[in-house]
Each structure stands twice: as structure tokens, then as C-alpha cells.
């Protein structure tokens, strides 16, 4: 009888304890957005943050900082437009009906749109890199390329 009473009393405690522990968010791990550093900045301040970080790592002069800041600001609108187009494309993909009579035509149109957007994205990346090359010295560009190569390393790993 005592074992049954103990078992019945500990079961609710274990359930509540498990629920509380599962609901807890560990500080610093609530979002994996660049180790939580970027989430405290709004979109306009993000470019300033990136310029500050680049300035520290690449040793940018004041004029270079201003030019990079202008470049980031001008590219922001393009990125927002592309983001909106991607959302529209994803919604169109989800809305495709495989049972529709013109499914093949809709699918072909969606594929063409996705391909055009991919080409546009690559063009924007190349364009950004050439514009950065105009601003930075060769040594700074090589450092930036190294930073880009190492960017993904260590992401998602929590020590």
C-alpha cells in the first residue's frame, strides 16, 4: 500500500517537473541567429553593426566605412524586394494543385520563376562583390574572402 501511495504521489511531480524543464529556454540558445548577436539590432542598425565588425577585422579607413555603409544601405531595398518575391514564390508553390487540369503549365511557370530568381540572386552577389572590390584594397578583399569561407564553420555548434 505504501509503494502504491508513493508511486501515485511521485507521478504528478515528475510530470510537472518534466513540463517545466522542457519549457525552459536556455539563455543564449533561444535563437540561433548568429549566436544571438544580430537579434538585438533592427534592420537599419544591422548594416552599421556589420560595417563596425568589418572595420575591426579588415582595418577599414573612415572613407571606406562610409562607402561600405552606403553600399549596404542601397542593397537593403534589393534584398527586401527579393525576400518578398521568394515569399510569393513559396506561396505559389504551396498553392499548386496536382489535380488541376493546367498543373503542368503552372508547374513550368513556377520553375521558370524560381530559375529567374536564382539567376538574379547570383547576379546580385557578383555585383556586390565587384562593388566591394572597388572599395577595399586587395589585402582587405583577401581577408574578406577568408572571412566568408570560414563564416559557416562553428555555426550551430554550442560548446
117 against 31, higher pLDDT: 117
Q: pLDDT value at position 123?
A: 92
For all residues of the chain together, what is the average pLDDT?
79
- pTM listed for this prediction: 0.59
Tens digit of pLDDT for each residue in 40-92?
556 667 778 888 888 888 888 889 888 988 888 888 888 888 899 999 989 98
Helix axes 43-58, 62-95, angle to 10 degrees: 130
Give the CA distances from residue 79 to residues 11, 43, 73, 112, in Å, rounded to whole numbers and listed in that order: 53, 11, 10, 20
Rounded to whole angstroms, the Cα distance separating 151 from 159 reads 17
112 against 12, higher pLDDT: 112
Amino acid at each position: 500500500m505504501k509503494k502504491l501511495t508513493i508511486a501515485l504521489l511521485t507521478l504528478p511531480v515528475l510530470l510537472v517537473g518534466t513540463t517545466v524543464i522542457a519549457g525552459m529556454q536556455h539563455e543564449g540558445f533561444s535563437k540561433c541567429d548568429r549566436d544571438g548577436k544580430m537579434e538585438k539590432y533592427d534592420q537599419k542598425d544591422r548594416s552599421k553593426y556589420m560595417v563596425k565588425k568589418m572595420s575591426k577585422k579588415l582595418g577599414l579607413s573612415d572613407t571606406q566605412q562610409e562607402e561600405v555603409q552606403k553600399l549596404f544601405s542601397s542593397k537593403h531595398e534589393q534584398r527586401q524586394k527579393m525576400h518578398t518575391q521568394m515569399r510569393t514564390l513559396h506561396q505559389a508553390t504551396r498553392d499548386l494543385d496536382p489535380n488541376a487540369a493546367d498543373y503542368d503549365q503552372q508547374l513550368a511557370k513556377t520553375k521558370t520563376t524560381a530559375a529567374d530568381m536564382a539567376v538574379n540572386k547570383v547576379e546580385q552577389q557578383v555585383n556586390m562583390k565587384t562593388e566591394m572590390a572597388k572599395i577595399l584594397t586587395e589585402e582587405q578583399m583577401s581577408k574578406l574572402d577568408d572571412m566568408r569561407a570560414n563564416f559557416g564553420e562553428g555555426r550551430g555548434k554550442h560548446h
